[in-house]
Amino acid sequence: MTRAALTSVLFASIAAIGFACNGAPPAEAPSPPPAPTPNPNPDPGEVVFPPFDPVEARLHRLTVRQYGNTVRDLLGDVTVPEDIEVDTPLHGFTTVGASNLTIGPRAAEQYEAAARELAAQVFTAERREAFVGCAPTGADDPCVATFLDRFGQRAFRRPLTEEQRARWLGVVADVTTRLNDVWVALEMTTAGLLMSPHFLFRTDIGVEEGDRRRYDAYEMASRLSYFLWASTPDDALLAAAADGTLDTTAGLEREARRLLADPRARSALLAFFSEHLKLERLDTIDKDPALFPQMSPTLGESMRQELLLMIDDIVFERDADLRAIFDTDTTFVNAELARLYQIPASFEGDEFVRVQFPANAPRAGILTSGAFLALNAHATITSPTLRGRFVRQSLLCQDIPAPPPSVNTTIPAQDPNVGPETLRQRLERLHLAEPTCAACHNRMDPIGFALESFDAVGAYRTTDNGLPVDTRGSLDGLPFRTAKDLAQLLGERREVAACVAQMAYRYASGHLETRGEAGMLYELANAFEAADFSFTELVVEIVKSDGFRYAGGQE
């Protein structure tokens, strides 16, 4: 049999074994956590929730980000193939989508091709000996088993079982016998490990503990590393799993803080903020260039970087109160953002520079950032509705139902018989004065009115359609006059901090939170507040939480 034919047989066999039975069925979307349940005879201030009831254990397919980070950490300097099935976010996050979706035939082919390509990169004549750690003379060379034990543990994120070890050693022996080349055998075995479901999926199964299941130490190592690094556990974390460190709350916290101190944590946790704030939509931002000459092919990416640098500064550089994202007067701009914000700048190009807005500036925090304003606007006009809806749904975690199918949500063109109007005046007439629309729009539009002093691309303005902009509005009955007033109100709302805790837990756990987790989420929000709203401390509390450590029992 030729090498090419043998390769096809081997990988067809691996694919048949690997992908036929692996993939979690889509889980039924549970209802969101309920409001606290009143106790018939409560103590003053007591809040009562349903008993803690963790979700069932599930598989988590590696996201595209996790896959790329993992193969680089396993293989070193490699070029990660780009032809990998894209992620499908669910409930706002790719991590949730990854725990609900399996691998179809087309994706299996893509992973097989990627595994072959990656293995070929590290088994060149120049690299293979350093990668394997020795120069084996044959399949029975002791260093083959040593390599398989080491690489297999890193790839599968736990030691190989005796059955797995025997199987893969058998592959090495079989291919070596057929092709008389142990290096080819090791290359094919490495590729096989990289397309195994034990590599492509994180298998959170747990061990029985009463009426629930506790994730074992190796599962916790993966849960930690993929939450905090978006990558595979390192040797130290696997050692902590082996010696029982991760079976204790103190051990979990110690390892979580070690991972947080690594630069990889910044990238992984900033990805949470990027997904939560929907920054991926900046890739396809669409504005009318005739109306907004500031638009450029790079402006969307500049806006994204500004917001991520602002969050990085607050969360990691200063470990400050996360609520500062609403009223910080510090941001980071390059030349084109400086022009958009009308900041006098003596620099050019793509370099980002830290700047501080004066006290009388109209901008502060994320609500007045170009990213937020441009994403929540139309191609030609602003949208108080979109901006207000984002605040409700993404910052307050409040539900806004979709409009009835029969309702036309397109804003009609300016009526020449009415005379010049600002967009606010049109919406007050079309949305807030119409009873069928007002029920929902009263919860969104008055919030978005605060941001009408910024156009659809995020530039500051004082007029709309030739008329003065009116930015007065209210948030649940609390009035404000400007965008900065709204930001201050949001920063003071406990629901905002609780929403961050809820979304971070959803991202970390890979599932939509359930009624049985409502009490735990309430405790997380309290811990977040007690830690002066430090996001890194919230991350540690999530890692220690029962929801992160336990799964529901099997019926």
Residues pairing with 534 in the sheet: 321
Which of 330, 335, 280 is closest to 310 using CA atoms?
330
Q: How high does pLDDT run on average in the chain?
A: 89
- Could you tell me the two tokens for 278? 């929907």
Indicate if the pLDDT at residue 24 is higher than 80: no
Say which range, 41-45, 169-173, 201-205, 414-418, has the weakest mean pLDDT.
41-45
Write down the pLDDT at residue 7.
52
Strands (E), 334-444: 353-356
Indicate if the pLDDT at residue 227 is higher than 70: yes
Please compute the mean of the pLDDT values over residues 229-241 and round it to a whole number: 97
CA distance readout (Å), 94 to 90, 198, 274, 275: 6, 20, 11, 8
Element (H, E) at 331: strand 330-333
Per-residue burial over 326-361, b if 16 or more Cβ lie within 10 Å, else e, is bebebbbbbbbbbebbebebeeeeeebeebebeeee
Write down the pLDDT at residue 433.
65
Write down the pLDDT at residue 5.
52
> Rounded to whole angstroms, how far apart are CA atoms 156 and 237?
14
Write down the pLDDT at residue 298.
95
Q: Which residue stretches of 287-334 are H helix?
A: 299-312, 324-327
Please compute the mean of the pLDDT values over residues 229-256 and round it to a whole number: 97
- Could you tell me the two tokens for 198? 């034990």
- Could you tell me the two tokens for 280? 């991926």
| Chain-centroid distance, C-alpha 11 | 32
Domain parsing of the chain, residue ranges: 3-26+48-203, 289-406+418-492
Write down the pLDDT at residue 12.
55
Write down the pLDDT at residue 407.
65
Q: How confident is the model at residue 211 (pLDDT cuts 50, 70, 90)?
A: confident
Provide the residue type at 234 as one letter. Answer: D
> Rounded to whole angstroms, how far apart are CA atoms 554 and 211?
8
Contact status, residue 477 vs residue 471, Cβ threshold 8 Å: no
> Rounded to whole angstroms, how far apart are CA atoms 49 and 503?
19
